[in-house]
Structure 1
Amino acid sequence: MNSAHAELTVIDRIQINQAGDEAEIQIRFVPRVQFLRQVMLKNGDVRLYFNLLEINASDKKIVQQRKDSPPSNIVPHFTVTYPEIDQSLTISFGKELSSYHIRPGNDGRSISFFMPITHTTGDMTNSKPAAEVTPPTATIEPKTATSQTRTAQEKELTEAEAKQLMGNAIGAQNSNLLSAQAAILRKLVSLPPNSYTQSALLTLAELDEKLGEFDKARIDYLTYMKLYPNSKEYARMSEGVSRMIMAVYATKKSVPETIVAEDKMITFGGFSQYFYRGLGRVDYTIPIVYSSNITPQSQILSSLELTSMNRSSTAETRLVLRDSFTKSFLQNIGSNNFLDAAYIEQALIDQSYFYGLGRQTGASGGVPSRFDGAWLGHNFNDAWRINGTVGQPSRYAGSREEAKTFAAINLTLTRQPGQWSGNTYLISQRVGKFIDKRVAGVEAHFYDVKSNHTVLLEYDTLFKKLNLGSFQGNWITAEDDNYTLLLDHRRSPALQATNALLRVPYPQTIAGLGLTENTLLANALLATPITNQISVGMTRPYSSRLKFGGDIKVANTTSYEAYNYLLTATSTLPRVGSTSISTQLIGNNLIFDNDLGVASASYTHANTYRAKSLSFSQVATLKKDWRLDMSLQLYAENNTLATVGDLTRISPTFKVNYQMNPTKNFEFSAGVEQSHTINPNLDSKVRRKFFNLGYRWDFQ
């Protein structure tokens, strides 16, 4: 187990928005993500499963983050943890939620969690208190008198009144008086249960939807589902609920929650410290026996996150700091500090202008994932926004990489009727006197109640080559089946003149190569492979406690040139292709009252190896404040190249988490990894033992 290096953090920020009568918890990521599936436990933990599209799979193991919820008056306190043992993300509320729904973000870098607004109490004060709203689960039901307590005469009178109202409703419909028809039907369904209630409620739901009364229609559909759970129309009503949720979202703009009163500053964030220790033993047969003990890891990772917000009559100002320091106790590995983010940004109250300065994470529009610079934006109206950014991509401490500078402009179309949004951007980057890249790109997003689609295209006008082409789609059926599709074609790494340095020994500079621009670009192309990927997935719920998921991925990488340090010469790396099939079975409340079990299996067929893996993870909540995570992973790899050989690996791990209170959390985890590699020249066994323990303190 490796510690979490700040430069590999995945979660950028958490923002709480208000979308009509719902609260939107938006989790923004540094890389692009592909949402796959989700499951909820009875204790209020929601697990999200997704793919990271711009981080290598091996990096996932060392990205560890736990974020506390920002101050809010419309959602209860929650925490976000990534990654869990099964590589999922957990949103923990501490209690079961009555209703919620999840959607991939319309920017490809976020996931949105929607829930009913819950007015909370705390130290925060809204400058404009949230209006009272009707919760999505509030239903209009017939009067409570049951058929057993009503006399025969009362039933007869109710039937007569209902019959007359139904006749009046049909008359209003024939006269095209739809609003009058809805009012009559609403009066009918408020009567005690009668033979007309079910058909009237079904008609009323569809009529309210037709009239654009989406909140009322949602309540109508929910009422029908509650009263008639065995009806053949139940699936159609469930689809109607989802459709109305998105219809309301489409008509009510999602805006950041105002949590700071005028002329008042609030500060929130967290501080954490984790100690990581790893021990290993290696046994070789070459063919003589040789053994050695190693200590690959011994360090303390300290991380600080701070956000301060101040609101005046004209603007809202935000200061953000995220920093981590790794203290190494090994002689051959030095300590280091990494400044992940440090910026100040300000937005006018009317949202017409916003600007910032410092180290920030690029959200979209071709801007580097982390950069030092300044940005300025202007909202022309509710639909159009323009952003400009200048700066330089951040470099790691001690890096001898050449400094680069860039300038970018981005024109954004926010969500429109029909659920369209997107942006187009231009970016130019220089290194010294050379142009490193010059890119034009476009992102388009479309989403409705059943689906979510994202298209990305990026063309480098300097190389005159397509840098990126991608399509990502999610579909949800009325039965709550979820289907995903990813078609991805990209240069990896992204095309830039400095890729030519991959063909020469490190370190070098572009100017030091002494090449003409044409030769430099040609060498950069030789060193930049093309990766293609097709991924198809599905998730099907078999019951409220069991879900099945499956994914098929076909990928290939073209041959490319790179410097070989063993041969001390530039060599060509061959084309690599693979097909992977994976399945996942997710169950909750199966063994214990409040548990989560995930069983996974995968098979990979590549041109140089075959690999099989099995894994099982179990999460058990003990009492209320203790949680136990356990996992077991088995991996076997057979290589077609005799010099590489075959590999087997077994990895059991466990983690114990104690939540002392909403602001203090303690954690301990440990594991063992046993691997065995055999080839004609080598028989090696490696046994690694590792553990970490630490705490996090959140404050606001």
Structure 2
Amino acid sequence: MALLAQAAAAQTIESLDWVEASGTSVARLTFSASVRFLRQAPSPATATDLAQLSFQIVAADEQVTGQTVEEGKRLGAAAGRPRIDLVYVPVPKVATKLLTLRFSEKVLLQVRQGPGARTIDLVFKSRMAGDLSAEGALPEPAEAPQDRRFAVVLQSTLADQGAQMPRIPAEFQNYDVYTQPSERAGVKRVDLVLGFFKTQQDAQAVRQRALERFPQAAVLSLAEAAAKAAPAAAAPVAAASVAAAPSVQPQIETAVSDVDGQGEALLAKGRSAFAERRFQDAIDATNQALMLPPNPSSPAAQELIGQTWEAMSQPDKARAEYQLYLKLYPQGEATGRITQRLASLGVATAATAKADGAGLKADKKRLSATGSVSQYYYGGQTKTDSLVNIATGIDQSTLTRTNQSVLVSSWDATGRYETDDSVTKLVMRGSRSDNLASESAISSTTQGLVSAAYVDYRHLPSRLDVRVGRQSAIGGSLFGLFDGVSMALPVAENYKVDAMLGVPANTLVSAPQQALAGVMLEADNLFEHWGGNVSLVEQTTEGISDRRAIGTELRYFGESLSMYAQLDYDINFNAINAFTVQGSFQGPYDTTVTMLLDDRKAPSLQLSDALISQGGASLSSLLQANSMAAVQGFALATAAEARQAMVSLSRALSSKWQGSMDLRYSEVGALPAVGNFQAQPATGAQYNVSFQLTGSNLYSSRDINGFNVSFITSSTMNGTQLAYNNLTGFMDNKISLEPSIRYYTQTDNAQTKISRISPGLRVSYKLSERANLMAEGIYETSQTDGLTNHETGESVFFYLGYRYDFQ
């Protein structure tokens, strides 16, 4: 493939997919690096359609740790599952990374570490539009008039306070909601009622769900209410008629003479909101219109609510509303349009079934495509003023330069072809950078980067999975990108074998005739919640063993506790290449405790690392002049010992506030002088303790506010950082603003003081359900004061771009 001739660039986020889970819906984030989940905002107990999660990159290639290009992914809505829009804005050299998540409706979200070191799970245990598990599903509303026997009185309010009725949660959008007058102890009141239900059990199930929000909720028998409301003289007759055909509708607090006008006004309001893409407002208006007694606007409102759910990528709800239209208005003006919409949604209507005489048979073959394309322009300029004390006085200089002027184009596409027994996917991900600031015609101004280009075939009955092309390694001691083929095949219950063969695609050293092969035996649920694997990898250069390693992983994955340990041992060097232990515990009161211990060689041990310091391009040539032991010594001398440890604790302080604390330790060992390399001293231990306070929905229904203070100390310096960041969604998440400000100060052992202040603003605007515009600007002013120098600097960095999602 021509694309594979381009350089490899590892994006941080590899995939976002729905995965099978018992009793809940789970979307799994898979990364191209080892990561550790830290915290989420808002807390799991808060229903939201806007969220952020914090994570740390534990180990990754330089392309990932130094990434600056924004990433975005979309996961389409499915039955009982919301659409997810994900945005990752990488900030190099910042330990805590942020992901922003937007959902097509309000959800209750629990984020946790996934079953492996490269995964984070988004768990939707319950949504505001109904529980995602079959056991917790809300009962269907009674549609036929004769089945409308019960309702639920959510709240009763004094008549003069009726205008202050609370908004009904989206969880109950599928039901009718209305107000009706009542009188208790001679006091006039207004009841907020939810309906309708065929059985008392259905009504009771909805009441139980509503109790947390409406503590006084009670089940109402419409037959009994109608009997009590009838005149005393006619009571026996009324009761008999109700018993025979319980179709009596509760009194709605609406003047019948004004029903037509109210219906028309609410329909106009819904159409206006729909045209402005304020879809939730359109749902609210059309729901209110449909609560009214039948009127000339009812059919149009019924069509509009289906169109709105469809625009919100909620096909199941759109189908239900369209089908209800055909049931209520089979000869309606919109019947033809709605029949076409249902056909496009994959539903055979009565009309289309009649047309072919035998109905439509579901097509077993399904073809779909998802992905995105984006472009960003990155610009930046720096101005520096320096004052230096010299023997003859003070030397003053000013330097202004353009730091960057780059246009980055990215693509991420997945084609999917499904049959009853197989799934075939074509995945393409990559980017292209055009350096517009290049001043030399000789230097390359364009670089193409491909992070994925493969075909994946999965045979469902046998669970055989074969993948060909540029892809991420299968795990264990096998990491990084490679061009080749991989296979996964179950060999027994809870066991499978993974194998890979190909050429490394993102090596640190460009060496000729590279090849790699690996095999892994994986066990899932060997014991309850326990799993792991054993792997072996052989990588060669010019037929010489470059890396030969054995690895093992041990995993525990439970509802509230997950643990992960990995050991990678290099057989050629007789040395441990990497050892890591990670854990995450989610306790009561939305408490999350995360820990990490990690010790590894950086870069990873490979014989070809010797070429870095020796300036050669061939291992065979280097071995002709040196012994194997000497070449291994060259390679070891370029691999420093990197250690890190972390403990993080976060807990909900209230319904809107969360507190968290992170304690980090890191250290990189010394490197000796070797070849072209000078000796590098050890960094010494560096400690970082940070405290964060996160407030959610403080002044709106969509805002997240982070306040952070961090203290950094080492043997050579002490630093402090104060930071504030905000994310606010406006107009139903159509516009997002993310202002931030950071102040950092540092003093080293030479009494040189550095201070920086960096305000910034990121803006995103949703042009449509698929198109988004983004822009960010950061202004930084810095000052450095030493014993003999004074320097001030100003920097401006910005980017602007767009992303288009297709589905």
TM-score, length-scaled by structure 1: 0.76
User: Is the counterpart of residue 12 in structure 1 residue 121 in structure 2?
Assistant: no
Letter of the 2:572 counterpart: L
Residues 485, 32 of structure 1: alpha-carbon distance in 2 compared, 3 angstrom cutoff: same
User: Is the counterpart of residue 442 in structure 1 residue 444 in structure 2?
Assistant: no
Structure-2 residue corresponding to 1:54:
59
Structure-2 residue corresponding to 1:44:
49
> Please, which of 498, 502, 522 is the counterpart of residue 412 of structure 1?
522
User: Is the counterpart of residue 504 in structure 1 residue 614 in structure 2?
Assistant: yes
Q: CA–CA distance in 1 between the matches of 2:674 and 2:775?
A: 42
Answer whether contact 2:744 2:756 (CA < 8 A) is retained: yes
> Cα deviations across residues 546-567 of structure 1 (Å, max 9, x unaligned)?
0010011122222113569xxx
Residues 480, 381 of structure 1: alpha-carbon distance in 2 compared, 3 angstrom cutoff: same
User: Is the counterpart of residue 67 in structure 1 residue 73 in structure 2?
Assistant: yes
Q: Where does 1:569-608 land on structure 2 (aligned, <5 Å)?
A: 570-608=678-716
Letter of the 2:89 counterpart: P
Answer whether contact 1:10 1:63 (CA < 8 A) is retained: no
In structure 2, the residue corresponding to 1:87 is in which secondary structure?
strand
The alignment covers a number of residue pairs equal to: 575
Q: CA–CA distance in 2 between the matches of 1:403 and 1:615?
A: 49
Answer whether contact 2:9 2:430 (CA < 8 A) is retained: no
Q: CA–CA distance in 1 between the matches of 2:120 and 2:537?
A: 26
TM-score, length-scaled by structure 2: 0.66
Shift of 1:421: 1.3
> Cα deviations across residues 278-307 of structure 1 (Å, max 9, x unaligned)?
122122224411112211111211111111
Letter of the 1:371 counterpart: F
> Cα deviations across residues 195-236 of structure 1 (Å, max 9, x unaligned)?
xxxxxxxxxxxxxxxxxxxxxxxx99x97995999xxxxxxx
Q: CA–CA distance in 1 between the matches of 2:578 and 2:510?
A: 28
> Please, which of 740, 758, 762 is the counterpart of residue 631 of structure 1?
740
Residues 400, 464 of structure 1: alpha-carbon distance in 2 compared, 3 angstrom cutoff: closer
> Please, which of 506, 531, 551 is the counterpart of residue 421 of structure 1?
531
User: Is the counterpart of residue 115 in structure 1 residue 124 in structure 2?
Assistant: yes
Letter of the 1:263 counterpart: K
Determine what percentage of the aligned residue pairs are the same residue.
22
Structure-1 residue corresponding to 2:106:
96
Shift of 1:686: 2.3
Answer whether contact 1:106 1:446 (CA < 8 A) is retained: yes
Answer whether contact 1:37 1:50 (CA < 8 A) is retained: yes
Letter of the 2:53 counterpart: L
Q: CA–CA distance in 1 between the matches of 2:663 and 2:805?
A: 40
Moved more, 317-326 or 412-421: 412-421
> Cα deviations across residues 616-657 of structure 1 (Å, max 9, x unaligned)?
011122222111100001111222246xx3321111110111
> Please, which of 73, 78, 88 is the counterpart of residue 82 of structure 1?
88
Q: Where does 1:201-600 land on structure 2 (aligned, <5 Å)?
A: 226=212, 262-287=364-389, 288-332=395-439, 334-395=445-506, 400-402=510-512, 404-505=514-615, 508-513=617-622, 514-561=625-672, 570-600=678-708
> Cα deviations across residues 643-692 of structure 1 (Å, max 9, x unaligned)?
xx332111111011111222111112111111222334543322111221
Answer whether contact 2:781 2:792 (CA < 8 A) is retained: yes
Residues 136, 324 of structure 1: alpha-carbon distance in 2 compared, 3 angstrom cutoff: same
Shift of 1:593: 4.0
Structure-2 residue corresponding to 1:34:
36
Shift of 1:342: 0.5
Residues 87, 6 of structure 1: alpha-carbon distance in 2 compared, 3 angstrom cutoff: farther
Residues 19, 654 of structure 1: alpha-carbon distance in 2 compared, 3 angstrom cutoff: same
Residues 145, 678 of structure 1: alpha-carbon distance in 2 compared, 3 angstrom cutoff: closer
Q: CA–CA distance in 1 between the matches of 2:32 and 2:474?
A: 7
Residues 57, 276 of structure 1: alpha-carbon distance in 2 compared, 3 angstrom cutoff: closer
Letter of the 2:382 counterpart: G
Answer whether contact 2:583 2:595 (CA < 8 A) is retained: yes
Residues 300, 449 of structure 1: alpha-carbon distance in 2 compared, 3 angstrom cutoff: same
Answer whether contact 2:82 2:105 (CA < 8 A) is retained: no
Structure 2, unaligned runs of 5 or more: 1-6, 141-149, 157-204, 216-361, 390-394
Structure-1 residue corresponding to 2:252:
none
Shift of 1:135: 3.0
Answer whether contact 1:552 1:582 (CA < 8 A) is retained: yes
Letter of the 1:444 counterpart: L
In structure 2, the residue corresponding to 1:498 is in which secondary structure?
helix
Moved more, 520-529 or 369-378: 520-529
Bigger radius of gyration among the two? 2
Shift of 1:24: 1.3
Structure 1, unaligned runs of 5 or more: 121-130, 150-218, 230-259
Letter of the 1:22 counterpart: T
User: Is the counterpart of residue 654 in structure 1 residue 793 in structure 2?
Assistant: no
Letter of the 1:372 counterpart: D
Shift of 1:63: 4.5
Residues 510, 225 of structure 1: alpha-carbon distance in 2 compared, 3 angstrom cutoff: farther
Answer whether contact 1:352 1:380 (CA < 8 A) is retained: no
User: Is the counterpart of residue 679 in structure 1 residue 786 in structure 2?
Assistant: yes
In structure 1, the residue corresponding to 2:37 is in which secondary structure?
strand
In structure 2, the residue corresponding to 1:521 is in which secondary structure?
helix
Q: CA–CA distance in 2 between the matches of 1:435 and 1:349?
A: 37
Q: CA–CA distance in 1 between the matches of 2:632 and 2:506?
A: 23
Letter of the 2:402 counterpart: T
In structure 1, the residue corresponding to 2:650 is in which secondary structure?
strand
Structure-1 residue corresponding to 2:352:
none
Q: CA–CA distance in 2 between the matches of 1:223 and 1:316?
A: 38
Q: CA–CA distance in 2 between the matches of 1:390 and 1:463?
A: 23
Q: CA–CA distance in 2 between the matches of 1:601 and 1:26?
A: 31
Structure-2 residue corresponding to 1:173:
none
Residues 37, 316 of structure 1: alpha-carbon distance in 2 compared, 3 angstrom cutoff: same
> Please, which of 645, 649, 668 is the counterpart of residue 775 of structure 2?
668
Q: CA–CA distance in 2 between the matches of 1:383 and 1:227?
A: 43
Q: CA–CA distance in 1 between the matches of 2:64 and 2:672?
A: 23
> Cα deviations across residues 431-480 of structure 1 (Å, max 9, x unaligned)?
22321111111111112233111111111111111112211111122222
User: Is the counterpart of residue 23 in structure 1 residue 25 in structure 2?
Assistant: yes
Q: Where does 1:102-251 land on structure 2 (aligned, <5 Å)?
A: 102-115=111-124, 133-135=134-136, 226=212
> Please, which of 619, 634, 651 is the counterpart of residue 727 of structure 2?
619
Letter of the 1:551 counterpart: D
Residues 116, 471 of structure 1: alpha-carbon distance in 2 compared, 3 angstrom cutoff: closer
